[in-house]
Structure formats: structure tokens, C-alpha cells
Chain A
Amino acid sequence: MRCFIGIDLGSTTTKAVVMDENTQVLGRGITNSRSNYDTAAAVSKQEALIDTRLTLFRRALGGVPEVAGKIDEIISDLERNFRHVQFLEQLGDLEETCVKNIKGPRFAGKEKGVQETLAEVFKRLRAGSDQLFAVGGKRKSDFFRDLAGSDFMTVGEAVCKDAGLGFDMILNVYDKSIIEVENRPPSGDMEGKFIRALEKGQMANNLIAKPVQDALAIPLEETYVVGTGYGRVRLPFPKEHIRSEILCHGLGAHMMYPETRTVLDIGGQDTKGIQVDPVGIVENFQMNDRCAAGCGRYLGYIADEMNMGLHELGPLAMNSTKQVRINSTCTVFAGAELRDRLALGEKREDILAGLHRAIILRAMSILSRAGGVKDQFTFTGGVAKNEAAVRELRKLIKENYGDVQININPDSIYTGALGGATFAVRAVVN
């Protein structure tokens, strides 16, 4: 079948969306951008194609009366097992790479010991992965680096202690190897992995095997790929396959909410205010200039300063009972201002609420420069997931522009990629 793909290479994450020729979304994929846009693009595309397969399975299973009502369970089982197979494959790659990296004067005479220790570490990681991917198993991240990394530290330290080997030896090997593995383009054979996942599953195999295999047999033809985002020039595409992210965000927001006229996107390093016409074409836009003050990265920095996870900031700010006024959205000054307020005895949640307000105030200024807010208004980008930022935005939109419908899609992080995929369809179909 014909697939139209949009890839959005952001400064933090890379997203891909696969669409059919009727602009129906078939799959979405996301990965960390690393410092390697080529790999990030390949990984996110593969992730979106995996997701596309799952959509096709779902459709195929819809025609099997015996599994009615159980499709969600079957699909999640299949995906979980697929991820496990994929994880084991990458773990195997990591182990091989680690072994190859045991070299240099540092390891002289100790190669054998290090190798044996690594073998034991990976054995335990493999065994532990059963639990990681068991039904109801909680995974802290979807990225291999995060999953393998945190386990490697705990398991590795224990094994080294037993073996009487310094942990720094294998940590050194790991550090070198994880970068290599992460930057390697993803291996193919998605179909084979799904078959193995199917075999692992405990579902009624006889009932689902045939429809799943039929769906796997459908070739996914990459008809047209459009790239966007800051890394777009790195994509190995001809120029006409590259679209500005401003246009992609405008069109993506329109695809999610066709009545959208104003879009606000707060990403990792920029904030964009965009006006779109009734068919999703950008009419006007404004964005921050060379300074990324008040963008997603600012929150990341604050989280680091407060020793918190990025996703914990919003919920903590929601507990605020009093607003502290923060003037600077400058990422560099933010730390100083933060410590200053803490020293004055202000509570963390109140300071955070002030910081969120400062970000949104800056976004409001960009929006007004772009021509204000018209009904409907769609908020996208990573910061749209932050409830404290959303709360402030709703307040300020109401104060300044009255009753405007505010749309925030749970998949808003894919807005740029969605616009890109839509451009891909338009390039071929129209």
C-alpha cells in the first residue's frame, strides 16, 4: 500500500507520521534526536511503520468475529512482545559492541575478566527483560538507551562487586558502545520480529496468526517522504521534499482541528505563533529570534536546577497557592532568579507557577505580534503537555481574547510530522 510519511526532526525528539492516501493516520513514531539526525530520522520512520503494522493488524482482526472485544488486548500483547524481541536484539548488538571495545592499555591483561563479567551482566539483563516486558510491566522510557542504561548500572555494579572488578572498567566499555549502538541505523526485518512476537504471545494463536500474517504481507511502499524541523537539511531528500516546520505545524494543527485559525507551538528551542487559513495554509507567523528564552529548553534547565524530572514540574506548580512573579525568561538568568526566590523563603511550587506564567507571557507577546488569537486556537509542542503551562495559557487567552476554543491534542507532539505527511499526500495525490 502507498504510505506517505512526514518526519519532524526536532532539537530534542524526532517524530514520524505515516498516512494513507486519504490522509488517515496509520502510525506514529518517536525517538530522541541524539546528535545524529540521520539515524534519528531512520529510527522514527521505522517506529511509525511498526505502528502502521499494528494499525493494519487491528483492521485485519476486526474481521475475525471470535476475537471481538479482545482486539485491544491482542494488539497490546503483540506490541509488548515485539518490543521485547526488539529489545533483545539491541541488547545483543550492545553486548557484541561492548566485547569489541575491550581494547587499549587500560584493559591490558584483564580482557578475559572483563569479558566474563560483561557476559554475566548481559545474561542477567536478558533474564530481567522478561519482567520488564511482562504483562503490566512498567517501563520508564520507550528509548533503548534509557531502558538498557539504567539496568546496566545496577546489574553491572553488582556483578563487578562479586567478581572483584572495578565497575569503571565496564562502564567505560558501555559508554563507548551505547553511542555506537544508538547511532547505528535500525536493523530491518520488522516482519520477522513480528512473527517471533506472535510466537511468544499467549493469545489464541490459531485464530490470529492468519490475519496477522496477511496484514504483514501487505507491502508498505514509501511513496513520498517530507522532512521538516531543525534537522531537515540533514535529510537525504531532494529539496522539494523538505518543508519548513512553520508550514508543517500550521497544516498539522489544521488536520487535527480543521477550524483552527491560530496555532501556538512551544518546542525545545523556539516558540512560534502561526495564523492559518481555512485550508491550513500559513498566512502569517512570528517566532522568537536567536534567543530561546521561555522555550521548552528553559523548563528543562529549571528541572535540572531543581533536581527534578521535566514532567514533574507541571504537577508541582499546580499545587501553588500563591503566585511569585518571575521576570526573566532568560535561560541563563532563570537559575539565579530561582535561587534568589528560594533564599527569600518562597515555596518551590509557587516559584514554579511563576516560571510557567513567565513562559506563557512571552508566548502571548509572540502571538500578539503574529496578529493575535482567533477562534479556534490550537496549542502544540512539548510544552502543551505541561498542565501548569496550559492553565496559565487558558487564563491569559481568556483575559486577552475572550472565549476562544482552545484545542490541545494528546498527540500534539506529532503536529509537525502530521503536517509533513499531509504535504506528502498533497504532493502526490493532488
Chain B
Amino acid sequence: MSTEAAKEPSMLMQKEMIARNYEAITSKHETGRKVSSTFVPGNLNELLMCFDIVNNLPEINAIQAGMRKASGGYIMEAEKSGHSEDVCTYVKADIGQMSKGNIAPNGKPYPDPDVLMLSYTGCYTFMKWFELLREQYKCPTLMLHVPYEGDGHSTKNMRDYIVKQLKEVVIPGLEEVSGVKFDIDRLRGYLKNSAKAEDDLVWCLEQGKHKPSPIDAYFGGVYYIGPIFTAFRGTEDAVKYYEMLRAEVQGRIDRKEGPLTPEGTSFNDQKYRLVVEGPPNWTHFREFWKMFYDEGAVVVASSYTKVGGMYDLGFRHDPDNPLESLADYCLGCYTNRNLPTRVDILAKYVEEYEADGLLINSIKSCNSFSAGQLMIMKEVERRTGKPGAFIETDLVDPRYFSAANVKNRLESYFQMIEQKRRGGGSKTVAA
């Protein structure tokens, strides 16, 4: 696995965009730009851009550390300072990284953030995480409270409540931190870019309906969602990125090809089509992915690619209703949806993408998101008549990834699908 992964032009472009953002973060003292720390689900990237604030995402930093095999050491460092084994490993990777010099992927130290933008959506650990960071950095925290869609839908009240917070807390707060006056037309301009990129992203994700699928909506999917879920939504770069991605996917459809694997081959021989729920494991990302394509399993739809916005359900950022659409965006992220809605979405994916079943990758250290997943699996199985399976790994704690165990479960699942397709075995004779 030590060989360099094969990459498509869009991936290289994204890599360059990410590098530029890290450069912008780590050079804040030279450029005088302000830096905010914020989360992926329900992030307010376009709004931050209105204040020339650079966006730093601790979750993404933890993922980066996981993929660079650095998270294990960070987590142990955090445990030394008293964080229990069961605490979210994104949090521990972040905390541990701070006490180990807080070095960004470009080798330069992360500067302290100027503001913590807590627009937390569906995950209550976010609040505790930023409490810890606030203690460390002593910088202002702006909290945007996003009500949970406990009844499965949002109301006008909820939307108004978020807009009111934006107007009364978040925008004045960001003006104060940055010294830049809020200009709603600037926001409209960014949102226009967002919507355009979102159209292309949705188009790409929906191509998973093809056979063979030209995309992998989970392992490949994390690259597809990269720019739009992070510091680039609203930028011209993101618009270009999604145009490029769309052309690549179209090319594969024309050539009847599957997605590119890290080994550089097109994954055309697709025997199993899966819908996956839950984030991937980052510390063994390639090894994990290989367990799928080696067995002929392609992911045609996933919920993870919706944690930063459920654009496939029709939502777009709207330049004509800027603040309202930011509110709707936060409310509608996958992590803010209740269990019955998640069941509806996943069952719909299994049917619309003609999948063989639902696979759940349950995250050991994520209590808020893993709760209820077994119930989700059973319910989706019942509704679709397609078999489900359950594996357990972690986000960035390498100790929680047992390759033999995961492989065993995956292979059993694939063989089970195969057997069911054949309509079971022969008439049996007792031994």
C-alpha cells in the first residue's frame, strides 16, 4: 500500500486547492487575514468569505492526520491528558495535535483561530469540542443553534430562529472579529456559485444509477464532496472543480467504465451494488476500499456524502433568499435528520440506485451518530427486502480497525448476496 495512489485531474486540482487553503491558514500572521475554526455539517463558508475570513475545519484536519497515519499518536497524547477511550476520536486527534506542536499538513504551525464558529448541526459533541478549544485559545465563540429535526421536518419557526441568530449574533460577531462590514450582495454572489457547483455535484452523485456505476459514492465520494463540504463552497474554484468532475464522470459513462481505483485501474467488473451508511475509516482508507473493489463491490449511494448538505433532495443555496437559505441548509444536513427520515432516505437509495443492500459502517467512538443504526438496518431490510450488514470501525483511531474482522464480515455479506441472488441452494439431504 505504500505506492502513490492513482489520481484523476479533479483530485489533483482539489489537492492543490486544499494546499492553498492550508497556506492561507498558516500564513495569517503575514497576510493579516483572520481565521475561523468551524465544522463541516452546517458550515457557513459563504458567510465567512464575506468577511475575508479563512476557514479552518478541525474535522478535516483530523481526517488528514488519519490518512497520514499521524492520528494514532495524537489520540494517545489526548488520552494522556485525561480524555477517555470512548471520546470522539476527531476531538482527541485535534486536542492531541495541539499538544504535539499543532503542525498543519504543510509543515507549518497552525496559528490560533480568531473565532470559533460553532454552527453545530446534529452532533452534540461539537459543543463540548469547542468548549475545549475556547479554553485553549481564549477567542470569541459564535454559536448558531440549529434545532434538531426531531419530528422529521423543519418549521418556519426554526428557520426564523436561525435567521434571527444570524442577524443578531453571528453577523455582528464576524464583523467585530474581522473589521469588515457585512455586504449581503457579496453573499448573494457566493451563493450563486454554490448553487451552480451543487447542481453539478448532484448530477455526479446521481450517475451511481448507471450500470456499471461510473462513480464510487463512498470511497470516491469523499473526493467528490471535498470542496463543497469544506472551505470552497461559494468559490469560483469549486465551480470549476465540479465542472471538471462532471466531465470526468461523463467520460466514464461514455466509455462504460467504472470509477478509478487507487491502483489506477477502472473498476468495471461490478458484482455488488451497495448503499453505505456512516463515515469511512480514515486510518486504513485504501486497505478498506480495496476490500470492496477486490470483491467486486461498488458503492452506488451513501449517506456520508450528505453530511455537509442534502442537495440530492432538492435543496440549493439561494441568492434571492440568502440568510433563509443558509438556515435551510443547516437544518437539512443529514446529521440533523431524525432516525425515521434516515430510514426513508436509505431505503429510497436502495431502491432508486437498484442496490443489493445496505451496509452500515458503525463508528465506535461516535455515540450520537451510531445510536439506532441497527434499528435503521433492520427497518431498511424490512422495507426493501434486501439484506443488510453491519461492520464496526472508527474514524481516526487506528486501534479500532481490525482488518481480519472487517474483511470477514464483508466477504460474508457479499457471498450472502450472491447466494440470495441464486435463489438459495438445492434441496438438501440431512447429513
Contacts and interface: CB of A to CB of B under 8 A. Distances in A.
B416 A25 contact: no
Interface in B410-428: 411-412, 415-416, 419-420, 424-428
Given A244-B415, A290-B402, A251 B425 contact: yes
17 contacts: A19-B431, A22-B429, A24-B431, A25-B431, A247-B416, A247-B419, A255-B431, A279-B427, A279-B428, A281-B424, A284-B387, A285-B412, A289-B392, A290-B402, A369-B374, A422-B425, A429-B426
Interface string A218-247: 000000000000100000000000011111
A289 B405 contact: yes
A286 B400 CA distance: 17
Nearest to A409: B431
Max chain B C-beta neighbours (<10 A), residue from A22, A243, A279, A286: A279
A246 B409 CA distance: 8
Interface in A297-346: none
A97 interface: no
B373 to A, nearest CB: 11
Given A23-B429, A24-B431, A281 B405 contact: no
B80 to A, nearest CB: 21
A377 to B, nearest CB: 17
List 6 tightest A-B contacts by C-beta distance, closest first: A290-B402, A244-B412, A279-B424, A246-B412, A289-B392, A255-B431
Nearest to B294: A239
B430 interface: yes
A396 interface: no
SS class, residues of chain A in contact with chain B: mixed
Q: In the complex, which range does the number of interface residues on chain B fall in?
A: 20 to 34
Given A290-B392, A430-B426, 7 more contacts: A23-B431, A24-B431, A244-B415, A270-B405, A280-B428, A287-B405, A287-B409
Given A281-B420, A430-B425, A255 B430 contact: yes
A284 B404 CA distance: 19
B390 interface: yes
Contacts of A25: 431
Nearest to A288: B405
A382 to B, nearest CB: 18
Interface in A18-49: 19, 22-25
Given A247-B415, A282-B419, A426 B387 contact: no
Interface in A89-128: none
Contact of A426 (B374, B416, B426): B426
Contacts, number: 85
A230 B415 contact: no
B84 interface: no
A305 B388 CA distance: 40
Max chain A C-beta neighbours (<10 A), residue from B364, B381, B419: B419
A418 interface: yes
B396 to A, nearest CB: 16
Interface in A259-294: 270, 277-287, 289-290
Contacts of B405: 270, 287, 289-290
Nearest to B411: A244
Interface in B325-340: none
Contact of B428 (A230, A244, A254, A289): A254
B408 interface: yes
Contacts of A246: 408-409, 412, 416
A17 to B, nearest CB: 9
Contact of A247 (B378, B400, B412, B430): B412
Interface in A411-430: 418, 422, 426, 429-430
A137 interface: no
A230 B409 CA distance: 12
Nearest to B405: A290
A182 B391 CA distance: 37
Max chain B C-beta neighbours (<10 A), residue from A246, A254, A277, A286: A246
Nearest to B418: A247
Interface in A375-430: 418, 422, 426, 429-430
A290 B400 contact: yes
Nearest to B414: A244
A130 B176 CA distance: 96
A371 interface: yes
Interface string B357-381: 0000000100000000010001001
Given A255-B430, A256-B431, A426 B404 contact: no
Contacts of B374: 369
Nearest to A22: B429
Interface string A161-190: 000000000000000000000000000000
A256 B430 CA distance: 6
A258 interface: yes
Contact of B431 (A247, A285, A418, A430): A418
A281 B400 CA distance: 30
Contacts of B388: 284
B363 to A, nearest CB: 12
A244 B414 CA distance: 9
Nearest to A244: B412
A244 B387 contact: no
A2 B411 CA distance: 28
A73 to B, nearest CB: 25
Contacts of B431: 19, 23-25, 255-256, 418
Contact of A277 (B389, B424, B426): B424
B429 A426 contact: no
Nearest to B410: A244
A429 B425 CA distance: 11
B306 to A, nearest CB: 26
Nearest to A285: B412
B153 to A, nearest CB: 31
A230 B425 contact: no
Given A280-B425, A418-B431, A286 B390 contact: yes
Contacts of B381: 284
A204 to B, nearest CB: 32
B419 A258 contact: no
Contacts of A22: 429
Contacts of B390: 286, 369
A323 B274 CA distance: 47
Contacts of A281: 416, 419-420, 424-425
A23 B381 CA distance: 32
